[in-house]
């Protein structure tokens, strides 16, 4: 996973609350057995509408999504994050994220930046005034800058550290190989175990 320190890219206003994972990626696309190539699936239903924000030239190369509250609710599909990443989004900004979506984001290198709703509306206003304006997100200082405005965002320290180090779950786990083995040797037999794949 790539390290995330700062990102600057075109902001895309998605002025809707409760954007659930069925909208982010409809279930029919989940049959694919790859982890990449979901860019065409992102918002597949809405993209059939020519007025949808990503169908406007000025936004189609956007990489910072600014959405309404309760983003990522519904079915807990990792594909929702993959689709956003594959399309080209590095950051989603919202005043409230569904917990599982936020968890999946941190594990896949997508920054879920939590801001006050008034700041979401401020960013929307700036984007309305200057469509295609770039937004800079700094994970080190936990700030979002657009035009002359800078607003803070929240993210838990652990996810921030992981993103800045570029560590996914496997990368993290492999750092503790010896400890894991020692722990497994002393674990009660009634608890579940993970067996190595048969070769």
Partner 1 sequence: MIAPDQTTFDYVQGRPHAPQGEDWDAAVEYWNTLHTDEGAEFDNEVFINADELEPFVTWGTNPGQGVPLSENVPDPEDAGDDNAKDAARRALDYMGLEAGTPMKEIPVDTVFLGSCTNSRIEDLRIAADIVKGRTKADNVRMMVVPGSAKVRLQAEAEGLDQVFKDFGADWRFAGCSMCLGMNPDQLAPGERCASTSNRNFEGRQGKGGRTHLVSPVVAAATAVRGTLSAPSDLESVPAV
Binding site for partner 1 (CB under 8 A): 17-18, 20, 22-23, 26-28, 30-31, 45, 68-69, 73-75, 188-191
Which residues, 6+ apart, have CB-to-CB distance to 20 below 8 Å?
72, 73, 74, 75
**CB atoms inside a 10 Å sphere around CB 75:** 16
Beta bridge partners of residue 144, listed in sequence order: 137, 151
Quote the least distance from Cβ 67 to partner 1, whole Å: 12
Quote the least distance from Cβ 138 to partner 1, whole Å: 28
18 vs 159 by CB, closer to partner 1: 18
27 vs 182 by CB, closer to partner 1: 27
Dihedral angle over CA of 11, 82, 36, 25, nearest 10: -90
22 vs 136 by CB, closer to partner 1: 22
67 vs 139 by CB, closer to partner 1: 67
Quote the least distance from Cβ 163 to partner 1, whole Å: 28
Tokens of 140: 């080190």
Quote the least distance from Cβ 80 to partner 1, whole Å: 12
Residues 175/134, Cβ–Cβ less than 8 Å = no
Give, rounded to a whole angstrom, the gap between the first and last alpha carbons of the chain.
27
């Amino acid at each position: 996973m790539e390290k995330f320190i700062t990102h600057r890219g075109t902001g895309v206003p998605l002025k809707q609350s409760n954007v659930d994972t069925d909208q982010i990626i409809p279930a029919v696309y989940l049959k694919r057995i790859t982890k990449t190539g979901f860019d065409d699936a992102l918002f597949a239903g809405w993209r059939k509408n020519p007025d949808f924000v990503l169908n406007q030239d000025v936004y189609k190369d956007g990489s910072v999504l600014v959405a309404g509250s309760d983003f990522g609710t519904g079915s807990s599909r990792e594909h929702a994050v993959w689709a956003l990443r594959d399309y080209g989004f590095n950051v989603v900004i919202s005043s409230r994220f569904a917990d599982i979506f936020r968890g999946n984001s941190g594990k896949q290198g997508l920054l879920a930046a939590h801001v006050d709703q008034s700041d979401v509306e401020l960013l929307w206003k700036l984007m309305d005034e200057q469509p295609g304006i770039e937004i800079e997100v700094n994970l080190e200082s936990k700030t979002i800058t657009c035009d002359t405005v800078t607003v803070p965002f929240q993210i838990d320290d652990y996810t921030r550290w992981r993103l800045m180090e570029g560590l996914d779950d496997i990368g993290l786990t492999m750092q503790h190989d010896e400890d894991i083995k020692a722990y497994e040797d002393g674990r009660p037999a009634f608890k579940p175990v993970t067996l190595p794949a048969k070769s």
